Structure 1
Amino acid sequence: MLDLALRAAARRAAEPGGILFTERQLYYELCRGLRPWHLAPRRLRFTARPPVRPAAFEAALRRAGDVPGLLPPAPAARRAPGRHTPEPDLFAYGLPRLLLCESDEIAAMLRANGLPMESACPVFGAAELPLDARVAGMLAHAERARVYVLHDASPAGLAFAARAAAEAGVPPGVAVVPIGLRPRQAGALHLPHRTGEEPGAPPPASCDTWEHRWLARGRGVEVAAVRPAALLRTVHRLVRGVRRAPPRAGRRQARASGFLTWPAA
C-alpha cells in the first residue's frame, strides 16, 4: 500500500508541468496524501505528526527505484557566480532582488525549476554564504534592492532569518525581508511537524501567543512540507512584489496556491 501511495505522491508532486522536487518534498507529499489535513478549514490553526516514519518512507523509496522528477541530493557547496555567462561586465549591473534559503536542497530545487530566470532573482543556499563580494556589490548598485529570506518554521529557521543579513554580508541600506515559513502559516496550512526542536533565541516580537506556545512544544515545520507547485508560485509572487488580493470568488483557489497570503502573515 505504501508503495502505491508513494508513486501517487510522486505524480502529485510533479504537477503541474513536470516540476522537479526533493526527497523531503516527496516525503511530505506522501504524508499529505495519506492524511489530507490540508483540506481542513484555514481558520483552524494546527500542525500534525507525519503519518509515515522516515525509515518506512526511505525503504519504500528504495523499492521504487528511479522516481521521475526526483532531484539528487544537493551538494552543500559554493558555486562560482557568473559561471553561466561570458558577459565581462556582469558585476557592473545592479541586482534588485536576491533570495536566501535556509535549506540548500530547497535552493537547488528552486533553481532546477527555473525560478531565478522566471523571477529575475538569484537563489542562494545557506552553504553558499557569505555572498561573493561582487554579488553584494551588485545589490549595492541597485536602487531599493531587497534580499528575501526563505526559512523553516522552527527556532533554527527564525534564527536564520534574524542573522541572514550579517551572515550573507548584505550591504548597508539593502532591505532584508523574511518571507516565511512562519509557525502561523504552517498552522493555517496544517502541515506535518517535526518534534524535538532545540529552543533557540526568543521568537521575534511579531510572533503571537499561538506561535509562542507552538514553538515552546519543540515543534518545527520545514519549507519542504509546502506543496512544490505552491512553493514555486508563492516565492515567485513575493519576490516580484505581486501582492494584489484575488477577487472573493477566486479565494478558494488562491488558498491552495500560496502559503504566505492565506492567512496574511
Structure 2
Amino acid sequence: MAEQLTPARWTQRVFDRLLPIAASRAAAPSGIRFTERQLYYELCRLLAPVPPLPRRVAFTVPAPLSFATFRTALARHGEISGLLTPAPPRTATPGAHTPEPDLFDYGLPRLLICESHTVAHMLRANGLPMESATPVLSAAELPLHPGVTAMLARGSGDVYVLHEASAAGLAFPTRPAELTGIPAGLRVLPLGLRPRQAMGLHLFHIDPTVDSGRPPDTSSPPDASRPTFDGRGSVPLGPEVAPPEATGVEPPTRLLAEDHPDNEPGPGFLDEREQAWLRRGRTVELDAVRPAVLLRSVHRLVRGVRTPPPPLVELRRARRSGFLTWPAA
C-alpha cells in the first residue's frame, strides 16, 4: 500500500532532496567548506531563484524559508559533507604554539577583521590566511595582542574590515581602531557589505518583523554599542561612534563581487536608496553571499587585485581622454 503523503511529510521529502543539492552548490567549485547559515541561504536560492538581472536593477528579497524550519530539516538529514562545525573564538595567545623568540619582530602588511565570527572561521577553514598572507580575526577575538599591534605598526599595515549590511554593520568599521589599540596613521578599510552591494547582488535580507533564527550576537566586543539608523545620511551611532567620514575610516569603494569599474560609489557615505533600505530595519548577513564569491572577492580586495575592465569600457575611456582624435591647433 502506497504511503499517504501529508503536507508536512511532503515538505520533508522536498527538503531531503534539496539539501544535498544546496550543499554541493555551496561547496562548488573546489570543495569549499561552508557554514550552516551559508547552507541555509543556498537552500533559499534553490527554493526562490532570483533571475539573472544587472546590478543596476537593485533590490534584496526576503528569505522564503524560516531558519527554524531549515534547522529541523538539517537535523533530520544527518551529516553533510563540507559543513563546518561551529568553533568558539580563539582565546590562546598568538605564538603559543611555537617557541620562536623573534615571532613578533617582523612587520605585518595587512590584517582582516570580520564582524561575524562564523565567517572568520569559514575563511580560515578554507585557507584564506595562507593564500592571501592575511591573518583573519573576528570581532569576538579582539582586542589584538600587543605583539600583533606592534607588527602592524612596524609594517605600516592596513586593517581590512568585513561587515554585514545593517546599521550596526556600517558602524562596525569605526570600532576596531578603538578596541585594538591600532596605532595612529594605519588605515582601516571597510570592504563591505554595504546595502547598495547587497541590492546589486540581489541577496536575501532578514526582516525585523520575522524571527530570523539568528544565533545570539557574539561577534561584537562587550562594549560595542548597537546603533540605530535615523535616515539623515549617516549612521548616528551612539555617543562613542561616528560615521566613517568623522573618524578617517575610508568608505567602501568596491562591490564584494568584482565591481564594474564605472560603478564606483558617489560622494558621501550613504545614498538615498541605501538610507530608505536601512530605515526598514533590514539586515543582509555576510553568509548570504555565495561562499565562492566571498572567498574570491575577499582575496582580491585584501591583495589589491583588480579584474581587467571589459574592452567596451576601455574604449569609452579612450574616447573621453581624446585617444585617436585630431590634435588641437
Aligned pair partner of 2:132 in 114, 119, 129: 119
Q: Displacement of 1:113 after TM fit? A: 0.4
- Which residue does 2:199 correspond to in 1? 187
Q: Displacement of 1:37 after TM fit? A: 1.6
Q: Does 1:94 align with 2:122?
A: no
% of aligned pairs identical? 59
- Which residue does 2:285 correspond to in 1? 222
2:132 is matched by which residue type in structure 1?
Answer: S
- Which residue does 2:308 correspond to in 1? 245
Larger helix share, 1 or 2: 1
- Work out which of the two has the higher radius of gyration on C-alpha atoms and give 1 or 2: 2
TM-score, reference length from structure 2: 0.72
Aligned pair partner of 2:182 in 147, 153, 170: 170
Matches within 5 A, 1:1-265: 1-37=14-50, 39-143=52-156, 145-196=157-208, 200=228, 202-203=234-235, 204=243, 205-248=268-311
Q: Displacement of 1:85 after TM fit? A: 4.0
Q: Displacement of 1:78 after TM fit? A: 2.3
Whole-angstrom distance in 2 between the partners of 1:33 and 1:84: 43
- Which residue does 1:258 correspond to in 2? none
Q: Displacement of 1:206 after TM fit? A: 1.1
Number of matched pairs: 249
Whole-angstrom distance in 1 between the partners of 2:283 and 2:53: 20
TM-score, reference length from structure 1: 0.89
1:158–1:79 distance in 2 versus 1, CA, 3 Å: farther
Q: Is the 8 A contact 2:171 2:227 kept in 1?
A: no
Q: Which runs of 5+ in 1 are unaligned?
A: 250-265
Three-state SS of the structure 1 residue aligned to 2:160 is: strand
Q: Is the 8 A contact 2:112 2:135 kept in 1?
A: yes
Per-residue CA distance 1:188-228 (angstroms, 9 max, x = gap)? 00100012298625435411100000000110100110000
Per-residue CA distance 1:3-59 (angstroms, 9 max, x = gap)? 211110000001111100000111011111221226232211100100111111001
